[in-house]
């Protein structure tokens, strides 16, 4: 019997599901090796089916979704987060710490109709996550590699190093050194293919923090390049503002954490 897999959606843009839906022939081949039992956008709907692997796109931002993710976990042997929203809370985590109620009122004419949590939180804030796939968006090769590894009984090895390393391998000219651009590559996890420096622009950290990074050093470098402290804060408070390393860096850049030396 083919192993069952599911793709669940929470608060998101649907872009990470495209790693499957835009996979072309690979999508049809995937259906030959795995039984896709729940993937609403593709057709199958059976959210409570037991599965080998559940891929989860999106963050948790409503009381209903906070309950739903518990059911997803209970039905799944492996739970894999699919992209920035599921892994760090995503861009919409910018609401965290803000006056979410006032924000809702400013967008919707009748805010009483809106039921929403004050925060947008990653899946791991609610349930155990087995594999995290960073990226906004994730790409097909990340997803298929993870899926094949798990089905083969192998724990997938996540990308850990910074975009800078990938830039060197691609032979891209460093946009920070040559153009003084506020590139986030030194602190950002690779896996994207160093696409922004490849286009001659600064990385904006959509793959989240790499491991073993020095955000203080980057903050100093960005300030030397002429960014205001608010501009530096915005560099960290972007797609992955909920990632602890970036949240911490933003706080320090804002001068709020000056007295303490965080880990």
Partner 1 sequence: MKEHRELRIQVPVLARVEGEGALDLHIRAGVLEDLALRIFEPPRLFERFLVGREHTEIPDIVARICGICPVAYQMSAVHAIEGAFGAGPSSWVRAMRRVLYCGEWIESHALHIHLLAAPDFLGADSVVGLAQTHPAEVRRGLRLQELGNDLIRLLGGRAVHPVGVRPGGFYRAPRPAEVTALLDRLRAALPEADALVAWTASLDLPERHQDFVSVALRHPDEYPMNEGRLVSDDGLDIDIAEYPAHFRERHEKRSTALHSAYWREGISDGTAGRPYLVGPLARMNLNQNQLPPEVIALLEGTSVSFPSSNPFHGIVARALEIRYALGEATRLLDDYRVPDSPAVPVTPRAATGFGCSEAPRGILWHRYEFDADGRVLMATIVPPTSQNQARIEEDLRLSLAAFGLDRAEDELRRHAETVIRNYDPCISCATHFLRLRIHGK
Q: Which residues bind partner 1 (CB under 8 A)?
A: 9-18, 21-22, 24-25, 27-28, 31, 36, 40-45, 47, 58, 61-62, 65, 90-92, 94-95, 98, 100, 103-104, 106-110, 113-114, 116, 120, 136-137, 139, 192-193, 195-196, 198-201, 204, 206, 231, 234, 238-239
In whole angstroms, the minimum distance from the beta carbon of 21 to partner 1 comes to 6
Distance CA 139, CA 151 (A): 19
If the CB atoms of residues 21 and 165 are measured against partner 1, the closer one turns out to be 21
Contacts of 17 (CB under 8 A, 6+ apart): 7, 9, 39, 41, 57, 82
In whole angstroms, the minimum distance from the beta carbon of 17 to partner 1 comes to 7
- Give the H/E segment covering residue 66: helix 63-74
If the CB atoms of residues 61 and 76 are measured against partner 1, the closer one turns out to be 61
In whole angstroms, the minimum distance from the beta carbon of 254 to partner 1 comes to 13
- For residue 242 the two structure tokens come to 């909920």
If the CB atoms of residues 115 and 263 are measured against partner 1, the closer one turns out to be 115
In whole angstroms, the minimum distance from the beta carbon of 189 to partner 1 comes to 16
- Residue in the structure block whose two tokens are 């600064």: 202
- For residue 86 the two structure tokens come to 């599921």
Measuring CA to CA, which residue among 114, 110, 122, 1 is closest to residue 51?
A: 1
> Contact 187/243 with Cβ under 8 angstroms?
no
In whole angstroms, the minimum distance from the beta carbon of 222 to partner 1 comes to 14
Distance CA 30, CA 34 (A): 6
Give me the residues paired with residue 36 across strands: 5
Angle between helices 229-236 and 215-224 (to 10 degrees): 140
Measuring CA to CA, which residue among 201, 200, 218 is closest to residue 209?
A: 218
In whole angstroms, the minimum distance from the beta carbon of 260 to partner 1 comes to 26
- For residue 138 the two structure tokens come to 């994730």
If the CB atoms of residues 155 and 170 are measured against partner 1, the closer one turns out to be 170
If the CB atoms of residues 92 and 215 are measured against partner 1, the closer one turns out to be 92
If the CB atoms of residues 13 and 130 are measured against partner 1, the closer one turns out to be 13
């Amino acid at each position: 019997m083919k192993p069952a897999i599911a793709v669940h959606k929470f608060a998101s843009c649907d872009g990470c599901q495209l790693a499957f839906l835009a996979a072309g022939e690979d999508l049809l081949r995937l259906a030959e090796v795995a039984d896709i039992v729940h993937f609403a956008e593709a057709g199958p709907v059976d959210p409570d089916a037991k599965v080998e692997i559940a891929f989860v796109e999106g963050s948790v931002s409503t009381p209903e979704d906070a309950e739903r993710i518990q059911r997803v976990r209970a039905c799944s042997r492996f739970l894999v987060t699919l992209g920035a929203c599921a892994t760090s809370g995503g861009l919409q985590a910018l609401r965290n710490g803000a006056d979410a109620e006032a924000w809702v009122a400013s967008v919707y004419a009748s805010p009483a109709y809106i039921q929403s949590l004050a925060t947008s939180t990653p899946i791991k804030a609610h349930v155990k996550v087995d594999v995290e796939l960073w990226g906004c968006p994730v790409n097909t090769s990340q997803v298929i590699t993870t899926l094949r590894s798990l089905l083969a009984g192998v724990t997938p090895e996540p990308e850990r190093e910074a975009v800078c390393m990938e830039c060197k391998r691609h032979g891209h000219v460093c946009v920070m050194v040559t153009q003084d651009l506020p590139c986030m590559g030194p602190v950002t996890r690779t896996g994207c293919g160093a696409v922004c420096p490849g286009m001659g622009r600064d990385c904006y950290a959509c793959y989240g923090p790499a491991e073993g990074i020095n955000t203080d050093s980057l903050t100093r470098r960005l300030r030397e390049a002429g960014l205001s402290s608010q501009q530096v804060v915005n560099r960290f408070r972007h797609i992955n503002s909920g990632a602890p390393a970036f949240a911490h860096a933003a706080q320090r850049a804002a001068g709020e954490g000056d007295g303490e030396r965080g880990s």
